[in-house]
A and B are shown apart, each in its own frame.
Chain A
Amino acid sequence: EDKVVQSPLSLVVHEGDTVTLNCSYEVTNFRSLLWYKQEKKAPTFLFMLTSSGIEKKSGRLSSILDKKELSSILNITATQTGDSAIYLCAVARGDTDKLIFGTGTRLQVFP
């Protein structure tokens, strides 16, 4: 059965800290891995990764996919209170358009 596992489940840091969120997967016919940020409402799209080793970057957020290790990390540098959210990792299979989500990492950033 397809599986996406995120760790840690929860993370509490102070503003300015750097955090690394992990996502590992066991999915048949992998096509891409996506990261989303979920605050109170809709998950908002952060990155889509399809090729191993290529870093996607947007401001203080960056992500890398390791297809050999079947995993990805999401890094957030110089965290701010506005980064507090649940970060969701999802994997898309090549033979279907549905996404398989992990349960998320809850990040809390305190001033």
Chain B
Amino acid sequence: NAGVMQNPRHLVRRRGQEARLRCSPMKGHSHVYWYRQLPEEGLKFMVYLQKENIIDESGMPKERFSAEFPKEGPSILRIQQVVRGDSAAYFCASSMDSNYGYTFGSGTRLTVV
């Protein structure tokens, strides 16, 4: 079992470009969560998805950020027109259902220059 796979591990974007972060959950896991970690801060919830559905996006900024988890393929977190303040580590986690602790991926470190 390969665990939760995130790619790329590091992503550098210029201001105004788009960033696409991918997450493949563990085999058998249908719940996917995205968290953002700013330097010296804890992880902040962004969005919770199940296959083809967004269940809770209360932590997503209202503009420029979107997430999907299609029937086939990985979950994608998309950030349009990136700004310096988007620089952070973005972690994806998956679980079998809501009664179990998550398994986290290794994260994507986004740097906006």
A residues bordering B, Cβ < 8 Å? 4, 34, 36, 41-45, 48, 88, 90, 96-104
Q: List 28 A-B contacts (CB under 8 A).
A: A4-B42, A41-B106, A42-B4, A42-B106, A42-B107, A43-B43, A43-B91, A44-B104, A88-B42, A96-B56, A97-B55, A97-B56, A97-B95, A97-B98, A98-B33, A98-B45, A98-B56, A98-B59, A99-B33, A99-B35, A99-B43, A100-B45, A101-B35, A101-B42, A101-B43, A102-B42, A103-B40, A104-B42
Q: Is B65 an interface residue (CB 8 A)?
A: no
Q: How far in angstroms is the closest Cβ of chain B from A71?
A: 17
Contacts of A99 in B (CB 8 A): 33, 35, 43, 45, 102
In the A-B complex, the 6 residue pairs with the closest CB atoms: A101-B42, A98-B45, A41-B106, A42-B104, A103-B42, A101-B43
Do A48 and B101 contact each other (CB < 8 Å), given the known contacts A41-B107, A97-B33, A97-B55?
yes
Q: Which residues of B contact A4 (CB under 8 A)?
A: 42
Q: Which one of B31, B43, B106 has the greatest number of beta carbons of chain A within 10 Å?
A: B43
CA distance A88 to B42 in the complex (A): 8
Identify which of A90, A96, A98, A102 gathers the most chain B CB atoms within 10 Å of its CB: A98
Q: Is the CB of B42 within 8 A of A45?
A: no
Distance of B2 from chain A, by nearest CB (Å): 13
Q: Classify the secondary structure of A's interface with B.
A: strand
State the total of A-B contacts with C-beta under 8 angstroms: 54
What CA separation (Å) do A36 and B93 show in the bound complex?
13
Inter-chain contacts of A90 with B (CB < 8 A): 43
Interface residues of B in 6-52 (CB under 8 A from A): 31, 33, 35, 40-45, 48
Contact A45:B102 (CB < 8 A) given known A98-B56, A101-B44: yes
Tell me the complex Cα distance, A34–B93, Å. Answer: 14
State the Cβ distance, A65 to closest chain B Cβ, in Å: 14
Q: Which of A42, A100, A102 has the most CB of B within 10 A?
A: A42
Residues of chain B within 8 A of A34, CB atoms compared:
101
